[in-house]
Structure 1
Amino acid sequence: MKEMLYPLKFEPILKDKIWGGQKLKALLNKRSNLPNIGESWEISDVEGDTSIVANGNLKNQSLKELLETYKSDLIGKKNYNIFGNKFPLLIKFIDAKKDLSIQLHPNDELAAERHDSFGKTEMWYVMQADDDANLIVGFNQEMTPEKYLRHLEDKTLTKILNFDKIKTGDTYFIEVGRLHAIGAGVMLTEIQQTSDITYRVYDWDRVDDEGNERELHNDLAIDAFDFNMPDNFRVQYQIEENTSNGMVSCPYFTTNFLHITKPILKQNTKDSFFIYICVEGEAMIETETGTELIKKGETVLLPATIETYKITSPNVRLLEVYV
């Protein structure tokens, strides 16, 4: 007999990165002895990095096992028809103590052909930024493949990149084919398709402890660029209290912003799971099958079978995600 589904939390999968720091430990209470924690994968079905349930009767089961057992009850009928036993989203917290590499991601077609993977459309929500921290998104001028390759060859790529100074709450939508990088001093939430395919085009000429430069993927990247994208990557959204404010809606996910100051009742009418990411404060999520406290830096998955639930908090900020 199958256990009833309830609000699910997962063990964070922590990643040591050459550019990582200690904010995920200090600000989000992630437990680790890693020296440079760059990423905390909150919900993942990436091969080799599958999330493990941390709470309740299904504790220690993997996300993959849950999908095989519960199928559409976990992710919704339409999602299961499309994705089968593959969870469609990857949720991360990222701490960049140093600049990340300049990179881009392939679309679904290229990723499937080359890597047997989904593409990697993603969005960022800035949780904390040091003074003068920035994100690199796109170019600061009109670009052609020829002009881009000339700057890459001449090691003058940074002259044509667009640097945006940022603050907490800033949100960016990063479509496939767009050059981007997280700058030093930024901690953010990343919501993306389930994919770990990144084409690195420049890494600031840095080397690892053994003097080796990280691998670049310029031969693959040139075909993945979309040089004609408009500068529409900055997301504008309302912050009306106690309701879902639209941020990003694309074929791969929808993300809303909630600032909750009193108990609210929610109805799931989307035939989808819902993910809540706590970016400030804490809240209680009450359902018929279980109640879960979610604190800053935590993520909870509500299975598609949970139709009605209550979120209670005097002051919490959440990202609400579904497919």
Structure 2
Amino acid sequence: MKMLINVAETVVTDALRGLAAAHPELTVDVENRVIVRRDAPVAGKVGLVSGGGSGHEPLHGGFVGPGMLSAACPGEVFTSPVPDQMVRAAAAVDSGAGVLFIVKNYTGDVLNFDMAAELAEDEGIQIAKVLVNDDVAVTDSLYTAGRRGTGATLYVEKIAGAAAEEGQPLERVEALARQVNENSRSFGVALSACTTPAKGSPTFDLPAGELELGIGIHGEPGRERRAMMTSREIADFAVNAILEDMNPRNPVLLLVNGMGATPLLELYGFNAEVQRALTERGVAVARTLVGNYVTSLDMAGASVTLCQIDEELLRLYDAPVKTPGLRWGV
């Protein structure tokens, strides 16, 4: 194992110290592991809180800032944050307009955010919750009951964040977040396994010359393993898997997401094939995002996310955002 770390036990703490040094516009509580936009709470604005295990950066801490999340709670690598973190984050961003919890569908995240919601409401904070479960690859996995939450998390956080920035009420922000999730589907492919600092070796065995179709962001098994395929073949498989589950009548947002170790040269080439596959199937793409956004440490591979949009969702997606991991219009 070769990693740019000190010791496995301090990986998350060291990363948070580095995040704080690089982004003074954020308030980073290293000890309690809460990342908050420095101007929070913003008067009259709904607070947006998300979080999950570390190792998926820039998700979630890299999406804290104007136009997106108000706060994020990083757990240990691939491990849910604890309720105390979420309650602390909710209290830090609550202006009296309420707080929306955005939760990826993993058992630990769901249980801990549910507990945190009860604790926060006991403190007088109005809480709403939205579950992200966009992955079409499998119904249940090692980490979930139901579908996994993956790339659509970015779209939920971006569009709900824009609505909150405009001062829209909690009920509307929650409804938009649910609409985005319901209109989104994802499918991922792994070319290699990832290595967690604590384990120091690949988290699963993927023989040379094979790939995993439908992989999860923690390395959970997908639908099947095959001999290595071309970019064109992978794009067709991923797009078909998504379109078997959704029939977009409107244009879509497209996310071609790297899993952490795939260079942009490959991702842009893969994007060309995904765009071809969508065009051949009559799906219009309104906006495209290519890069590493919802990662899995050093896993090689990519995921495809489609989100069907209308004029309102597209307007909110295009609205200005200023975070470490996503920035435009400012």
Q: TM-score, normalised by structure 1?
A: 0.29
- Which structure has greater strand proportion? 1
- Which structure has greater helix proportion? 2
Pick the structure with greater CA Rg. 1
